[in-house]
Structure 1
Amino acid sequence: MELPAFKLPQIDLPFDVPTLLHPPIDHFVIAIPVLVLIIEIINLVLKKRAIGVLTFFMLLLGMIVAIAAYLTGTVDGKEAYDALSQAGQSELKEHKLLGTYLMLFSGVVVLFKLFSAMARKGLVKAIYLLVLIVFVAGILKQGKDGGELVYEYGANVERVKALDDELFDCKDELSDAEDELKDAAQSEKSSSTPTKETAVSETTPASDTTATTESKVNSSSEDSSTSAKDLPENAIEKVDSEPEAVKIETH
C-alpha cells in the first residue's frame, strides 16, 4: 500500500544543518518509542502514575528527535540523491515520504498519551497503546528501509561516491576518445580525396601523349603514301621490270 504523496512547506532555518547527522539521530528515533512501548506494557501491571509521566516526557523527546531526523534526512538525502541509481532514487523518495508521515505521527502519539492520562479510562488507554504500536512498527520499517539505502544502494557511502566519480571520469575520457577518433576518420577521408584528383590529372597527360603519337604515325603513313603517288611513272615501270630481269639472268 502506497502512502499519498505530499510535501511539507520548506522552512528556512537560521542555521545550516550538517551532513551525515541523520544516521546517529535515527538510533534515538527508533530506540525511544520501542522503550516507551515496553515501559507502557509493564505499567499495565504496575499502574504507577510516575511511570506514565516519564513515558509522556520520553514521547515528547521522541517527537523532537523525529523532527531532527526529518531535517537531517532532508539534507543527507539531497547529498546522496545524485549518486544513487534510478532504483535508489525511487527508494529514497519513498523513505522520505514515510519519514514525513512518522514525524507528524509522533505528535499524534503524544496527543493520545495526553488524552489517556487525562481520561484514565481503559478504552482510551487501549487506543493509545494501539497507536503507539502502529508508530513503533512504522519506525522499525523506516529503519529497515534506511539500512537498505545504505547497504544496497550505497547512500552517502564515501567509497561508493568515489567510485561513482571515477566512473564519471572514465565516461568523459571515453567520449573524448570517440570524438578524437571521429575527427581522425574525417581528416583521413578529406586527405584521400585530393590524392584521387591528382591521380586523375596525372593520367590525362599520358593519354594526350598517346594521342599525339598516334597522330604522328598517321601523318607519317599519309606522307609515305603521298610520296609514292608523286613518283614518276617511268620509275614505277622500272621497279616492276626489275624482277623479270632477275628471273632471266637466273635462267
Structure 2
Amino acid sequence: MGFDELLNTGAVPQDERMADFIARSRADRNFCYEAAERAARRVAEDPEVFRQYLDVQSRFLRYTANNALLILEQKPEARRLGDMAYWKEKGAFVKRSERAKPVLVMEPGKEYRREDDTYGQYYNAKKLYDVSQTTIPKREWQGAPREYEDAGLIRALISRAPVAIHTAEEELPKGERAWFSPEEHSIYARKGMGADEIFCGISRELAHAEYAKGDTGYDREA
C-alpha cells in the first residue's frame, strides 16, 4: 500500500479540536484535585510519608503546599522540574519515552466574577518534567547529597528571625533550652548547648515568635 492514501484526510473541525482541548484540561484538573487529596490523606496518616512530603517541599521551596503534594503523589524523587520550553532553553529535551509521563501541577489562570460580585480564580493543570526525564546526562544532576556543617545550619535557622536572639544569663523557665519573651521581643537560649539542642529549642521558640507577630500579650499556652 502506498502512502498517498494516508494523505487524503479532511481537516479536523475547529470546534472538535477545542472540545478535545477542554475535555483534556478538565480531566487533568480533576486528576490534580484527586491526587492532591490522596497525598494529603497519606501524609496525615503515615509519619514516613509526612517525612517524604517535607523532603519534596525542601527541594521545591517556591512551590505551593498543594503542588508539593502533587509531586509527592506522582514523582517523589523529582529533583528539578520544568516544562518542555524550560528544558529547551537549557539545551536539553524531554525524552520521547517520557513525554507521556508528565508531573502535573496547578498554576493560576484567569480571574472570574461570581454572581455575588466577588472574584475567584481559575486554576489550570500544567505538565512538567523532571531532569531525570530529559537528555541531560545523569552524571550532571545525580550528585552526592549536599552536607552542611552544624554552624552553617544554625546560621540558616536564625538568618531571618523575627525577633532578637540572646544567650541567657539566668535559668530559663521550666529548665527549657530556649524561651521566647513577647514582652522583650526576644528569644533567650541556654548557654553551652550542642547543635541538636539548639535546633530543637530555637526552632520551637521561633514558631512562637511568628505566632505572636509583635503582640506583647501573646499567650503561648493559648
Please identify which structure carries the higher helix content.
Answer: 1
TM-score, with length taken from structure 2: 0.24
Larger RCO (CA under 8 A, 6+ residues apart): 1
Please identify which structure carries the higher strand content.
Answer: 2
TM-score, with length taken from structure 1: 0.22
- Give 1 or 2 for the bigger CA radius of gyration: 1
